Amino acid sequence: MQKSLKRYFPIFAFPTLAAFTIGFFIPFVMGIYLSFCKFTTVTDARFIGFGNYLKILSDRTFLHSLWYTAAFTVVSMALINVLAFTVAMLLTKGIRGTNAFRTVFFMPNLIGGIVLGYIWQLLLNGILANFQKTLTYNSAYGFWGLVVLMCWQQIGYMMIIYISGIQNVPGELIEAAKIDGAKPAQILFHVTIPMVMPSITICTFLTLTNGFKLFDQNLALTNGEPSSMSELLALNIFNTFYGRTGYEGVGQAKAVVFFLLVALIAIIQTRLTRTKEVQH
Amino acid sequence: MNVRKAKYGWVWSIFFSLLSVAWVFPILLVIVNSFKKKVYISRKPFELPTGKMFVELENYLRGIEKIQFFDALKNSLFITVCSVAVIILCTSMCAWYISRVKSAFSTGMYYLCLFSMIVPFQMVMFTLSKLANMLHLYNPIGIILVYLGFGAGLSVFMFCGFVRGIPLEIEEAAMIDGCTPIQTFFRVVFPILKPTCITVAILQAMWIWNDYLLPYLVLDIKRYKTIPIAIQYLRGGYGSVDMGAMMAMLVLAIIPIVIFYIFCQKYIIEGVVAGAVKG
């Protein structure tokens, strides 16, 4: 079978391979190369070594956005997961109307980042107007605005994943713990949580990478204002590319650093939580 | 324990009902404001559009004209539907090929797909947009190819995971009965892959429909706008934003999604769970 299938390579594998090469592989390799070049378009690239990377180190806005993004990611990840898990626990107890609640909580997820950003801009600015302030008054308002927005968007999604995880915990296990005299808190921490660890791995992974890569919501909600102080990394990179001529190389170098950070976080996170998973 | 749960069940039901209302409040607020005269939107966002604040459908008409909403809707629909269809077809075929043909190419392709899933778009955005420009992919048909390329990683990975679970004997039987690989794929393998197809289709559709940056950089946006681009375009330069038109267009942007969600809710939720487990 392998042999006859092999002759069909042009039909089966070629279209995806070609598109993958154009849409991902070439841009990726070129991106790495260009991060060592000075250029304004792709054709006038001149190799300059680590110059772009050195410029990043002295770029205040980049370092600020790095910390801003890190803080945002950690805070939103923690809040989203704790809240989503709590809601999932309650919605697996057979409360009347569970399906309707699930439907409602999940819905914001389908709305795109740009639209979400403007929805929350209206709401949050409306509330802040009572205190004569706006979202762009200082970067803390933008920060918490984004956190609230992300919670609203992602809790439903994570809740769905947690619910399926919790439903897969065998009932006998909980019963056995109860008969052995375990208190509800003990059951939660020693039975339920270890058993849903795979879901926790997935959800923390998703919230971490989503938070770190956030762009649309940031663009629509505050657009980095006041003066780039509420700029997340992705937006900072975008503005370096398209906002300042002559800085394309620096933008590309930032993008490489960004990619390395995302990859590093993804690897460390999966390693950490995978080791806590129980086999059954 | 069970008795106590039943006793307090209604308290939780009320709690979650209130929470659900709070959850949809932001959307309701936008709907309410879309009927308000634009100067009152930032000034009195929490009041109902009564008396001189109420403008009927004025905001909608102005917004539709300003951003050519129906062109954007058409573009978004075309790009999303075609890209998802092409992704499903091409990546399922490719995944079957690389799972069944053991070669250096197959292994390499699989790991590259896995790798591409963690690469953020910012890493390739500049070079990708320049390359797409060089290859004249800046129209709604060309962007399908870009989406196939950038979306291939996740889809190939998910299809591969599923193809491994299909017993080889079924396919071999079909081949012995005289099926060509193409017939084997479409008559035997593809029907088995259907649940994965739905999962992949939902995940990709959610991404492509809402995607802003990729079409913004790849498409010739003077001629082709998608809905997110059209909405961002309303914000324009630095001047004041036409809040009336903005609210109306946000409502129009949400409506197709909500309708889609109501009809495909079961599949969407199952798709998300299945996608998460495989990912």
Closest residue of A to B29, CA-based? A123
Beta-carbon separation of B101 and A2 below 8 A: yes
Number of A/B CB contacts below 8 angstroms equals: 276
- Strand A37-38 and strand A46-47: the pairing is antiparallel
**Chain B residues within an 8 Å CB radius of A1:** 100, 168, 171-172, 175
**Chain B residues within an 8 Å CB radius of A197:** none
* pLDDT above 70: percentage of residues in chain B: 95
pLDDT class of B2 with cuts at 50, 70, 90: very low
**Chain A residues within an 8 Å CB radius of B268:** 106, 110
Residue A143 near residue A232 (C-beta atoms within 8 A): no
| pLDDT value, residue B215 | 93
Beta-carbon separation of A215 and B113 below 8 A: no
Q: Where are the domains of chain A?
A: 2-51, 58-240+250-274
Could you write out the three-class secondary structure of A167-203?
A: HCCCHHHHHHHHHCCCCHHHHHHHHHHHHCHHHHHHH
Q: How far apart are CA A39 and CA A30, in angstroms?
A: 12
CA of A161 to nearest chain B CA: how many angstroms apart?
Answer: 6
CB within 8 Å of A267: residues ≥ 6 apart: none
- State the CB neighbour count (10 A cutoff) for residue A29: 13
Q: How far apart are CA B150 and CA B76, in angstroms?
A: 17
**Chain B residues within an 8 Å CB radius of A245:** none
How far the first Cα of chain B sits from its last, in Å, is: 36
Q: How far apart are CA B237 and CA B226, in angstroms?
A: 19
Residue B237 clears pLDDT 90, i.e. is over it: no
**Least CB-CB distance to B135: which of A22, A94, A157?**
A22
Beta-carbon separation of A6 and B101 below 8 A: yes
CA of B197 to nearest chain A CA: how many angstroms apart?
Answer: 16
A41-55, A224-238, B49-63, B94-108: which is most confident: B94-108
Query: ipTM beyond 0.90?
Result: no
| pLDDT value, residue A241 | 85
Closest residue of A to B232, CA-based? A114
Question: Looking at the domain that runs over A58-240+250-274, which CATH code has it been given?
Answer: 1.10.3720.10
Domains of chain B: 2-57 (no CATH), 68-235 (1.10.3720.10)
Q: What is the pLDDT of residues B193-217, one digit of tens each?
A: 998 898 899 889 989 999 999 999 9
**Chain B residues within an 8 Å CB radius of A103:** 265
Closest residue of A to B113, CA-based? A20
Residue A259 clears pLDDT 90, i.e. is over it: yes
Beta-carbon separation of B276 and A91 below 8 A: no
Q: What is the pLDDT of residues A213-235, one digit of tens each?
A: 999 999 988 887 887 888 999 99
DSSP A279: P
CB within 8 Å of A225: residues ≥ 6 apart: A136, A142
Go through chain B and tell me how many residues it has.
Answer: 279
In three-state secondary structure terms, A155 is helix
Mutation choice for B interface testing from A4, A6, A16, A238 by most B CBs within 10 A? A16
Beta-carbon separation of B122 and A100 below 8 A: no
In Å, how far are B76, B216, B219, B234 from B223, measured between CA atoms? Answer: 13, 11, 8, 16
Query: Structure tokens of B187?
Result: 């008559």
Q: How far apart are CA B72 and CA B75, in angstroms?
A: 5
Beta-carbon separation of A234 and B122 below 8 A: yes
**Least CB-CB distance to A19: which of B100, B148, B261?**
B148
User: Bridge partners of A47?
Assistant: A37
**Chain A residues within an 8 Å CB radius of B181:** 4-5, 8, 12
CA of B84 to nearest chain A CA: how many angstroms apart?
Answer: 13
pTM reported for the whole predicted model: 0.88
Query: Structure tokens of B200?
Result: 């992949």
**Least CB-CB distance to A113: which of B33, B96, B212?**
B212
* pLDDT above 90: percentage of residues in chain B: 41
**Least CB-CB distance to B182: which of A8, A15, A203?**
A8
**Least CB-CB distance to A248: which of B12, B41, B126?**
B126
| pLDDT value, residue B4 | 44
Residue B238 clears pLDDT 60, i.e. is over it: no
Beta-carbon separation of A238 and B213 below 8 A: yes
| pLDDT value, residue A274 | 73
| pLDDT value, residue B66 | 85
Buried residues in B13-26 as b, exposed as e (16+ CB within 10 A): beebeeebeebeeb
Listed residue (B183, B203, B189, B197) closest to B273, CA to CA? B203
Beta-carbon separation of B269 and A160 below 8 A: yes
Listed residue (A229, A223, A74) closest to A147, CA to CA? A74
Residue B165 clears pLDDT 80, i.e. is over it: yes
Beta-carbon separation of A202 and B279 below 8 A: yes
Residue B125 near residue B217 (C-beta atoms within 8 A): yes
| pLDDT value, residue B81 | 95
- State the DSSP H helix or E strand holding residue A46, giving kind and residue range, or none if neither: strand A46-47
| pLDDT value, residue B1 | 41
**Chain B residues within an 8 Å CB radius of A41:** 130
The amino acid present at B256, given as its one-letter code, is P
